[in-house]
Amino acid sequence: MVDKEYVEQLKQILMSTSLSDEDKKNELMQYHENDIADMLDDLDDNQRDELHRILGDEVFGDVLLYSEDISEQISSMEPEEAADVIEKMDADDAIDVLEELDEDDRKEIVNLMDPEAKEDIQDILKYDDDEIGSKMTNNYISILVTNSVKTAMKRVVAEAAENDNVSNIYVVDVQDKLVGVIELRDLIIAREGIDLGTIVKQNYPSFHATDKVEDCLAEMREYALPSYPILDDQDRLIGAITHDDVQEAMDEEMGEDYAKLGGLTEEEDLDESPFKSVKKRIPWLAVLLVLDLLISFTMANFENVVAVLAIIAFFQTLVLDMAGNAGTQSLSVTIRMISTNDVTGKKIARTILKEFLTGVLNGVILATISFGFVMLYLFIFKKGVVNGDEYNVVQAISASSIVGIALLVAMTVSSLVGSIIPIIFYKMKIDPAVASGPFITTINDVTALLIYYGLAAFLFFTVLGVA
């Protein structure tokens, strides 16, 4: 929630008649850009233009990046003004802003941008969304390996005003091929006269622009570095991906995974039309409809069980839900294992065995608890299990045993299914996150129903001879 008190303070600074423009800028810059962005919604067009004039294109652009509705802010500006602001942004940020705009507005603004900024944007847009090159930025500093320490330091200082990604300095040869990386700290403390190559980390993680985002993110999670160099197919340095870019990409991947686990092929846009949403959702819903019909047909085959043992149906939800929860947990663990790209035969076997044993142990514990509670319920309320019969200890023990045993078997099977199915889809080159979620849920429901009612029919009709 926006703190109106500091918003009012910012407005007072902006509208002050006793401060010069330079003083206003200095006062405003004591606040974070995010705080200044909170003020934008309280400004009319003239006040916003005044803020832009005082802060300048670059700083105002940084403020806009924190705006909750940046498309509205940009659309309310003259195209020339918007172009001046966007071209001062890092290329990846500029692309994010432009993608928020209508196609006509976007084209008009891009045509008004200077050639260099337009070229930087085009260099990123040529990569597909699933390639790491689409996430890179031009916000980095590079130096020649042949530079002296003094020359290298001068270059860093000169470029730091425009490129603030200075934690790692990229070192290239005369052909722009990456040699390695120097940490800023090492460059600062390096003595004049030493060979720059002696403080270069040559085995530094780097990625080619055409590498898949999900593959790169798995490796980036392990290193957790401030930034990573991005290379073309000839190993020339063409960009970088910073920690913020990595975090944003991870958030996007997570959002897509949540959508996929819901059976969607991609994350939905909140502003898209119902017809477009239907087009995305209906294929999986149709498949799930067929699978859910299997559940209904399964239930129909146990009509005699439900008719005679109506109270058994009361505990059906317990077995189904717990089996589903166990399967979902195993699915999450397996998807996480697959996302690390460490899908060796040994790793697969360990994961499946672990999930199986986890399912068994959880099942034993919860089955014991369930047996006790069901037995207690039947005893306290003197519930008869078979329709028309009074409370019977043998029948109560049998019914409680059915719930407990079905829960144990269903949770064990669900844990196995939750670990095996995504691996099978992965081996078939099908995205396991897309296919596994709803698919596993439905399989677990059918399996749990068969186990539960099959066990009830066997124990009461065959063993106890209930008619």
Q: For residue 197, give the 3-state DSSP assignment.
A: helix
Question: Which amino acid, 226?
Answer: P
List, for the chain, all residue ranges whose pLDDT scores fall below the cut of 70.
Answer: 1-4, 251, 253-272, 280, 284, 340-342, 431-437, 467
Residue 227: half-sphere exposure toward Cβ, Cα within 13 Å? 27
Exposure letters 27-54 (e unless 16+ CB within 10 A, then b): bbeebebebbbbbbeebeeeebebbbeb
Q: What is the CATH number of domain 4-130?
A: 1.25.60.10
pTM: 0.59
Interstrand relation of 168-172 and 142-144 (parallel, antiparallel or unpaired): parallel
Architecture of the domain made up of 274-463: Orthogonal Bundle (1.10)
Residue 339: half-sphere exposure toward Cβ, Cα within 13 Å? 18
User: Is there a contact between 14 and 28 (Cβ–Cβ < 8 Å)?
Assistant: yes
Give the helix/strand (H/E) hosting 229: strand 227-231
What pLDDT does residue 164 have? 77
Question: Which amino acid, 156?
Answer: V
Exposure letters 80-113 (e unless 16+ CB within 10 A, then b): ebbbbbbbbbbbbbbbebbeebeeebbeebbebb
Interstrand relation of 178-183 and 168-172 (parallel, antiparallel or unpaired): antiparallel
Q: For residue 54, give the 3-state DSSP assignment.
A: helix
Of 306, 301, 300, nearest to 456 by C-alpha is 306
User: Is there a contact between 79 and 102 (Cβ–Cβ < 8 Å)?
Assistant: no
Bridge partners, 207 (sequence order): 230
Could you report how far apart the first and last alpha carbons of the chain are, in Å?
65
Q: For residue 207, give the 3-state DSSP assignment.
A: strand
What pLDDT does residue 445 have? 87
What is the distance between the alpha carbons of residues 360 and 358, in angstroms, rounded to a whole number?
A: 5
What is the distance between the alpha carbons of residues 366 and 408, in angstroms, rounded to a whole number?
A: 8
User: Is there a contact between 33 and 63 (Cβ–Cβ < 8 Å)?
Assistant: yes
Q: How many helices (H) and strands (E) does the chain have?
A: 19, 6
What pLDDT does residue 1 have? 47
Q: Where are the domains of the chain?
A: 4-130, 142-261, 274-463
What pLDDT does residue 306 have? 87
What is the distance between the alpha carbons of residues 381 and 284, in angstroms, rounded to a whole number?
A: 44
User: Is there a contact between 421 and 443 (Cβ–Cβ < 8 Å)?
Assistant: yes
DSSP state of 241: E
Q: Is the dihedral of CA 151, 157, 162, 168 positive or negative?
A: positive
The burial of 427, by beta-carbon neighbours within 10 Å (0-12 exposed, 13-18 middle, 19 or more buried), is given as exposed
Superfamily of domain 142-261: CBS-domain (3.10.580.10)
User: Is there a contact between 445 and 320 (Cβ–Cβ < 8 Å)?
Assistant: yes
Of 446, 441, 450, nearest to 330 by C-alpha is 441
Interstrand relation of 207-208 and 142-144 (parallel, antiparallel or unpaired): unpaired
What pLDDT does residue 256 have? 61
